[in-house]
């Protein structure tokens, strides 16, 4: 994999940090396409939704950048689910408060989908594709209205799925997790690393 041009199709600083910590050298070219969920004939469960979104992001950048050289593109997407309902990014801070009220005192799930598209140098075939998702359960302590308001007004809830970032000050309200912590941050880097090792150069 060392000789392949590697692109992360995401502007997320958290994903960038995790990929760098794993020792990868890569470029960042964020996918810009609108996130659209398509009915592919199977139930649109949270894991399938994040896998589809990750695939769309990776494909957008792969189609834009593919050439004769070896190319690997990583797309990823993260969502928060509560009782099967998806909590996306808040529309505004009032919406962020609404989401945190739903999450406080309860357990919920965080899903991150990952798509790896890889084409060896000179290959004329379509890219090899690997798509997977990871699920982590997050337990949140009960929160007062004052704590919810203080967290949201800090700005740390802005533009985050489920209106929180586990790596921010919200961490003081997380009583525990079941699964991969980095998956909640935005990228299951250990699983990604293991999968990347299996791919041809």
Q: Which residue has the tokens 């609404």?
A: 98
Torsion on CA atoms 191, 123, 71, 113, rounded to nearest 10: -40
Q: What element of type H or E holds 106?
A: none
Following DSSP, what letter does each residue of 8-49 receive, concatenated? Answer: E----HHHHHHHHHTT---EE----S-------SS---HHHH
Catalytic residue among 39, 77, 92, 180: 77
> CA-CA distance, 111 to 88, in Å (whole number)?
12
Residue 77 among the catalytic residues: yes
Q: What is the CB neighbour count within 10 angstroms for residue 91?
A: 9
Contact predicate 106/80, CB 8 Å: no
> CA-CA distance, 48 to 70, in Å (whole number)?
28
Give the chain's length: 201
> CA-CA distance, 37 to 114, in Å (whole number)?
15
Residues taking part in catalysis: 77
């Amino acid at each position: 994999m060392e000789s392949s041009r590697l692109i992360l199709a995401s502007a997320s600083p958290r994903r960038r940090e995790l990929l760098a910590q794993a020792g990868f050298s890569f470029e960042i070219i964020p996918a810009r396409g609108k996130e659209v969920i398509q009915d592919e004939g199977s139930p649109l469960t949270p894991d399938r939704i994040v896998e589809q979104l990750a695939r769309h992001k990776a494909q957008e950048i792969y189609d834009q950048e593919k050439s004769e050289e070896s190319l690997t593109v990583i797309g990823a997407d993260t969502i928060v689910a509560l009782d099967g309902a998806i909590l996306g990014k808040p529309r505004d801070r009032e919406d962020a408060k609404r989401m945190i009220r739903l999450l406080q005192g309860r357990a919920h799930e965080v899903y991150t989908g990952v798509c790896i598209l890889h084409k060896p140098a000179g290959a004329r075939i379509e890219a090899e594709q690997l798509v997977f998702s990871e699920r982590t359960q997050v337990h949140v302590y009960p929160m007062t209205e004052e704590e919810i308001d203080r967290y949201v007004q800090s700005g740390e809830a802005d533009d985050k799925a489920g209106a929180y970032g586990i790596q921010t000050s919200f961490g003081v309200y997380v009583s525990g997790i079941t699964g991969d912590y980095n998956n909640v941050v935005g990228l299951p880097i250990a699983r990604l690393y293991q999968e990347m090792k299996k791919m041809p150069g």
